[in-house]
């Protein structure tokens, strides 16, 4: 009933049409807030930024251009001259030529993959099916033997038939489906208290038998909140404690708090970051959030940790004019009035800002190489690095142009920021190692950032090997089959790559859990034994394809739910061990009396009564059993292990 619209150029005139009427070759116009209606090759852009998290998993909007890209086998995140169907324009304007529509788009191909993937049965479902076959065969065979022996020794056909049927009923654990359902329902309730909501009952046990967890990085292993970690003021490098947008933490030098007399230089770096800024930090429901660019939000928080208050600083440094950030210029500049002076503040890419600096803050322009080296070292740790500079402006200046800031700036410093790992995720990954569960990180982010976060999380050892989407594109399934055994970090991947990784892990006999939040994750979520969608940031498509939803988007909640899954399987196994002996004992006792030639101990009615008394309600109590000690430190069960044996 609600059809997306697209603004196109046809016959030299702009017109709005239903997006389903688009054909390859149409020229589409994009503006802020527009949802991209088809896959477009961009031919003209102006400050275009597109939110592609649903396809790439990146939290920062992608900057787009029209430049030709000569490389092949690129993932959607690296195709900077393309706009993909379903993504949203955050800012700027553009024109693009439709190259694919409908099912042939990147989004359409994901939908097609989801459609083609069959339902993956939970390991518990397979175990119960196999158990039912074995029990059925054994009970039928025992009943036939019982009936045959009775006839041979002279019992009537009628009596032996009734006895054989009653023995079969007694031996078959008909209470098992009920107790299994109750046990799973209890497991689901317990997991919900751990912020893990199960959409399908069998998935509750699957999590307990998981051998590999393939996790997204952004928002699951990390906080999805950019945080300044390092500051350089031209002389010293300072550490910044705290994480996320909550302004709690301090500036440290050599693990010591910075003295008041040492603050002057690094306060200038932080002040520029705070004031040369178009975003805001606000508090909602006890949580701090950023209104605007996550990078700019991190700069505000780092300034607040040093004691700079945004409202006071804006009052003392009144903003007069601004040059917004533009990708082709690589910087942003603002003009401020402070006392009787006017100041220009600039922030941007280190290479660009340093080219605009006549001298560095201490008057020695030869430091530029050293500054760039420090910036590169920050970048090698997976950080996004920004440089800051300033200069005094003429008293009569009321407007600011690119010419005004193109030269004569004084270098103030650098700030390096990263989306930090969740502290509880580090603990959870260590817990997974002890539990014999391997954790794999699959992200759409760049390889350098992925490796840096992986090392902080303790993934992949000291020499972390990473495979990129570009390498996966040219890798055969057989090559990938051998690689997935050892590689724990995958970067810059596309949706199809994630699906292939899961498929090859399953070929190794692993029980695979996969986390995801975007449309791009849907095929892998559906293919995995248990798909885990994010509750806060997850798309409806991801939740629909998943078996479980994480309320708090936290990897630690998965680890807590694993324990509940193991308790659930143990309780089901206890029920089986309780139900089977009674039925088997009944058949053995009848066969023994027939062979010994003594009267049968039960009539058919008594057999049924014994079945009700022994298997009625007692087995239900086992479904409520708490977990055994050390259950989480056991290695995962062998996927081939049956329900009734170890």
Span of 255-259, 565-569, 623-627 with lowest mean pLDDT: 255-259
Q: Which of 498, 417, 420 is nearest to 455 (CA)?
A: 420
pLDDT class of 59 with cuts at 50, 70, 90: low
Instruction: Return d(Cα 412, Cα 362) in angstroms, integer.
Output: 9
Give the torsion sign (CA, 509, 513, 517, 519).
positive
pLDDT class of 76 with cuts at 50, 70, 90: confident
Instruction: Return d(Cα 492, Cα 173) in angstroms, integer.
Output: 51
The neighbouring-strand residues paired with 243 are none
Instruction: Return d(Cα 69, Cα 51) in angstroms, integer.
Output: 20
For residue range 102-120, list pLDDT tens digits in order.
Answer: 888 988 887 777 777 666 6
Which residues carry out catalysis? 216
Angle, helices 423-434 vs 555-596, to 10°: value is 30
Span of 51-60, 74-83, 332-341 with lowest mean pLDDT: 51-60
Structure tokens at 554: 């936290």
For residue range 507-538, list pLDDT tens digits in order.
Answer: 998 999 998 877 778 888 888 989 998 887 77
For residue range 436-464, list pLDDT tens digits in order.
Answer: 899 999 988 888 888 888 888 888 766 77
Match 């800012």 to its residue by tokens.
91
Could you tell me what percent of the chain has a pLDDT over 90? 30
C-alpha to C-alpha distances, 489 to 36, 179, 365, 414, nearest whole angstrom: 31, 40, 41, 29
pTM for the complete prediction?
A: 0.72
Q: Residue 93 in 3-state DSSP?
A: strand
Q: Do domains 5-115 and 196-222+422-553 have the same CATH topology?
A: no
Structure tokens at 302: 């780092």
For residue range 585-623, list pLDDT tens digits in order.
Answer: 877 887 788 778 777 777 777 777 877 777 667 777 888
Evaluate if residue 360 carries a pLDDT over 70.
no
Evaluate if residue 364 carries a pLDDT over 60.
no
Give the pLDDT of residue 261: 62
Instruction: Return d(Cα 214, Cα 360) in angstroms, integer.
Output: 46
pLDDT class of 487 with cuts at 50, 70, 90: very high
The neighbouring-strand residues paired with 489 are 441, 466
Q: Domain locations in the chain?
A: 5-115, 124-187+566-625, 196-222+422-553, 227-418
pLDDT class of 539 with cuts at 50, 70, 90: confident
Instruction: Return d(Cα 65, Cα 626) in angstroms, integer.
Output: 58
Q: What is the mean pLDDT of residues 176-203?
A: 86
Q: What is the mean pLDDT of residues 41-67?
A: 84
Evaluate if residue 432 carries a pLDDT over 80.
yes
Evaluate if residue 323 carries a pLDDT over 50.
yes
In CATH, the number for domain 5-115 is: 2.70.150.10
Most confident residue range from 93-107, 506-520, 558-572: 93-107
In sequence order, the 6+-apart residues with CB closer than 8 A to the CB of 483 are 467, 475
Evaluate if residue 1 carries a pLDDT over 50.
no
Question: Using an 8 Å Cβ cutoff, are 232 and 151 in contact?
Answer: no
Q: What is the mean pLDDT of residues 343-362?
A: 83
Angle (CA) 130-133-136 rounded to 5° is 145
Q: Which CATH superfamily is domain 196-222+422-553 in?
A: HAD superfamily/HAD-like (3.40.50.1000)
For the chain, give the mean pLDDT: 85
Q: What is the mean pLDDT of residues 393-416?
A: 90
* 3-state secondary structure labels for all residues of 118-168: CCCCCHHHHHHHHHHHHHHHHHHHHHHHHHHHHHHCCCCHHHHHHHHHHHH
Instruction: Return d(Cα 55, Cα 494) in angstroms, integer.
Output: 8
Question: Between residues 187 and 263, which one has the greater pLDDT?
Answer: 187
User: Right CATH number for 227-418 from 3.30.930.10, 3.40.1110.10, 3.40.50.720, 3.40.50.300?
Assistant: 3.40.1110.10
Evaluate if residue 28 carries a pLDDT over 80.
yes
Give the pLDDT of residue 365: 53
Evaluate if residue 542 carries a pLDDT over 60.
yes
């Amino acid at each position: 009933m609600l059809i997306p619209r697209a603004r196109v150029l046809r016959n030299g005139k702009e017109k709005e049409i239903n997006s389903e009427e688009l054909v390859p070759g149409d020229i589409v116009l994009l503006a802020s807030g527009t949802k991209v209606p088809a896959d477009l090759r961009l031919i003209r852009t102006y400050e275009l930024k597109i939110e592609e998290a649903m396809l790439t998993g990146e939290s920062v909007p992608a900057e787009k251009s029209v430049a030709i890209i000569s490389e092949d086998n690129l993932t959607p995140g690296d195709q900077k001259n393309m706009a993909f169907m379903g993504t949203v324009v955050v800012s700027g304007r553009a024109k693009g030529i439709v190259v694919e529509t409908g099912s042939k788009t990147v989004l359409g191909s994901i939908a097609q993959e989801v459609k083609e993937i069959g339902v993956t049965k939970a390991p518990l479902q397979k175990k119960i099916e196999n158990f039912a076959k074995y029990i059925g065969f054994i009970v039928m065979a025992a009943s036939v033997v019982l009936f045959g022996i009775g006839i041979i020794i002279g019992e009537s056909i009628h009596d032996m038939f009734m006895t054989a049927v009653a023995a079969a009923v007694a031996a078959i654990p008909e209470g098992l489906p009920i107790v299994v359902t109750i046990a799973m329902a209890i497991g689901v309730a317990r997991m919900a208290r751990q912020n893990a909501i199960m959409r399908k009952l069998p998935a509750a046990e699957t999590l307990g038998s998981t051998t590999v967890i393939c996790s997204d990085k952004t928002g699951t292993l990390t906080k999805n909140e950019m945080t300044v970690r390092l500051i350089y003021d031209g002389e010293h490098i300072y550490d910044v404690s705290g994480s996320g947008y909550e302004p709690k933490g301090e500036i440290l030098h050599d693990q010591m708090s910075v003295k008041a007399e040492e603050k002057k230089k690094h306060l200038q770096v932080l002040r520029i970051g705070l004031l040369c800024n178009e975003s805001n930090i606000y508090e909602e429901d006890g949580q701090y959030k950023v209104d605007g660019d996550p990078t700019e939000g991190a700069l505000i928080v780092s300034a607040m940790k040093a004691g700079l208050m945004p409202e006071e600083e804006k009052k003392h440094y009144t903003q007069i004019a601004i040059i917004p950030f533009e990708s082709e210029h690589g910087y942003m500049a603002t003009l401020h009035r402070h006392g009787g002076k006017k100041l220009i503040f600039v922030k941007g890419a280190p290479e660009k800002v340093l080219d605009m600096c006549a001298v560095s803050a201490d008057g020695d322009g030869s430091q530029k190489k050293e500054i760039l080296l420090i910036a590169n070292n920050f970048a090698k740790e997976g950080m996004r690095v920004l440089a800051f500079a300033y200069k005094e402006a003429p008293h009569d200046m009321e407007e600011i142009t690119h010419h005004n800031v193109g030269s004569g700036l004084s270098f103030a410093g650098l700030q390096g920021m990263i989306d930090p790992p969740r502290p509880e995720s580090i603990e959870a990954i260590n817990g997974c190692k002890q539990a014999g569960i391997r954790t794999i990180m699959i992200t759409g982010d760049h390889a350098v950032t992925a490796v840096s976060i992986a090392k902080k999380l303790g993934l992949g050892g000291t020499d972390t090997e990473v495979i990129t989407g570009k390498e996966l594109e040219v890798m055969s399934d057989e090559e990938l089959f051998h690689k997935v055994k050892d590689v724990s970090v995958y970067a810059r991947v596309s949706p199809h790559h994630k699906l292939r990784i899961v498929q090859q892990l399953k070929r190794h006999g692993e029980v695979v859990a996969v986390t995801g939040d975007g449309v791009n994750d849907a095929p892998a979520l559906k293919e995995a034994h248990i798909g885990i969608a994010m509750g806060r940031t997850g798309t409806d498509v991801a939740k629909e394809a998943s078996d479980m939803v994480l309320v708090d988007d936290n990897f630690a909640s998965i680890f807590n739910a694993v324990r509940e899954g193991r308790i659930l399987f143990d309780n089901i196994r206890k029920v089986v061990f309780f139900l089977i002996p009674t039925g088997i004992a009944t058949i053995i006792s009848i066969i023994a009396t027939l062979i010994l030639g003594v009267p049968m101990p039960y009539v058919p009615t008594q057999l049924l009564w014994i079945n009700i008394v022994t298997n009625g309600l007692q087995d239900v109590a086992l479904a409520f059993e708490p977990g055994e000690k050390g259950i989480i430190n056991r290695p995962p069960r062998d996927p081939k292990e049956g329900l009734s044996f170890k």
